Amino acid sequence: MNGAPRFEVLARDAGTQARLGRITTTRGEIPTPAFLPVATHGFVRALPIAALAATGAQIVLANAYHLRVRPGAEAIAALGGLHRFMGWEGAILTDSGGFQVTSLAGHRQVTDDGIAFRSHVDGALLFLDPESALDFQVQLGVDIAMVLDECTPHPYTPGQSRAGLDRTLRWAERAVRRGVGPGQALFAITQGGTDPALRREAAHTLSALPFDGYAIGGLGIGEGREALRRTVAAHAPDLPEDRPRYLMGVGPPADIVEAVAAGVDMFDCVIPTRNARNAAAFTWQGLLNLRNARHARDPAPLGPDCRCGTCARHPRGYLHHLVRTADSLAGSLLTAHNLHFYQQLMETIRQAIPAGTLGALRHRLCAAYPDRAPGPRPLPPLRP
């Protein structure tokens, strides 16, 4: 839409649905498959923007709901828009906030018109509909805006999943009519839980609308690893071949490579940053817990081949010391490492697709990360 970012498929894996691609935006090219660090409030916790850029990330995710609640559109506009507000020169994708608002159990009312809810910050009564959710993202000046959807909380009944999908599809049509600004892309979001028929319906209906990309929403919320992978494997190929496919909120390394094999191009997740703040580091051998006493005198870096600044300067023993003394520097250094690892992971995946080695990489990652989601439990719901 309106000169939006372009997507090209450059190579394919012979044995799977995986594809190597490129999204071209006014702020540069984004190679895919790509991982988007989560900068919910306009920042990645514990990490300066310069350090975020040093990880190799070229696009980040921010959340329109949180930015609308605080600091608000006027404050961000007064400081030059979201890119300048953050000091980030790369591309920005904003989630509309539908997932966050639907987590306000008991403090929101969902109708076909939109969602009435109370702010989790000050209790103010707010209203979010497909048009206002999109207008705010346009005002922020983001590169990719997401439609407002209804993410049915898990566990859900078939009727709830059906109703959530119907509303999401109606809201998507309203978002298309509203449109975005010049140079901005508009992505749809599919819902339907783990029901193959609902997912196919979502793909069929949304593919008929002129979206610039298609996201898979409503997964990674408790349905289990096998159900998630089965749903993505069946659903991703139903989405348009010539547009980016984005799996929202799913990020364990093994799940990422499996979704890439299903044809997914974009990912975001808080797992690397949340684990870092809980003393856990991602490596090619698996997750390291820096609280463990065995690291106290270890002179090795977190990753023997890691090129991040943390590994270049600090041994595991020092990081263990920071963790045990509860210094905030531990979270900062581990966040930098984990996000660098994720960018290295995506680079390795991109190299494996044309080389025909994706199968071996899948085996390696599934062996190193056998569990569904390493690290701490999900955050509790937002509350006013």
Every domain of the chain with CATH number 3.20.20.105 lies at 6-269
Read off the pLDDT band of 3 (50, 70, 90).
low
| 6-269 carries CATH number 3.20.20.105 | yes
Q: Please name the residue that has the structure tokens 């906030």.
A: 97
In Å, what is the CA distance from 210 to each residue of 14, 180, 242, 372, 376? 29, 12, 12, 34, 39
Q: What is the mean pLDDT of residues 223-240?
A: 97
| Residue pair 34/173 in contact by the 8 Å Cβ criterion | no
Query: Is residue 77 packed enough to be buried (19+ CB in 10 Å), middle (13-18) or exposed (0-12)?
Result: middle
Query: Whats the size of the chain, residue-wise?
Result: 384
Direct distance between the N- and C-terminal alpha carbons of the chain, in angstroms, rounded to an integer: 36
Could you tell me the pLDDT band of residue 98, with boundaries at 50, 70 and 90?
Answer: confident
**pLDDT, tens digit, 9 for 90 and up, residues 285-333:** 999 999 999 999 999 999 999 999 999 999 999 999 999 999 999 999 9
SS (HEC) of 82-127: HHHHHCCCCEEEEECCHHHHHCCCCCEEECCCCEEEECCCCCCEEE
Do residues 206 and 169 make contact, with C-beta atoms less than 8 angstroms apart? yes
Which one is predicted more confidently, 372 or 299? Answer: 299
Quote the mean pLDDT of the chain. Answer: 93
223: DSSP letter: S
| Residues labelled catalytic | 95, 268
Label residue 190 by pLDDT band (50, 70, 90): very high
267 vs 213: CA distance, rounded Å: 13
Q: Are 273 and 27 in contact (CB under 8 A)?
A: no
Question: What is the pTM for the complete model shown?
Answer: 0.95
Share of residues in the chain with pLDDT > 90 (%)? 87
Cβ atoms of residues 213 and 240 within 8 Å: no
Task: With cut-offs at 50, 70 and 90, classify the pLDDT of residue 377.
Answer: very low
Tell me what the mean pLDDT of segment 116-126 comes to. Answer: 87
**Which band of pLDDT confidence, cut at 50, 70 and 90, is reported for residue 168?**
very high
Distance CA 220, CA 378 (A): 10
* Averaged pLDDT, 180-185: 96
**pLDDT grade, residue 378 (50/70/90)?**
very low
Structure tokens at 103: 């987590």
pLDDT confidence band for 8 (50 / 70 / 90): very high
Q: How confident is the model at residue 375 (pLDDT cuts 50, 70, 90)?
A: very low
Q: Which of 159-173, 234-248, 359-373 has the lowest mean pLDDT?
A: 359-373
Are the C-beta atoms of 308 and 55 separated by less than 8 Å?
yes
Classify residue 109 by burial, with Cβ atoms within 10 Å: 0-12, 13-18, 19+: exposed
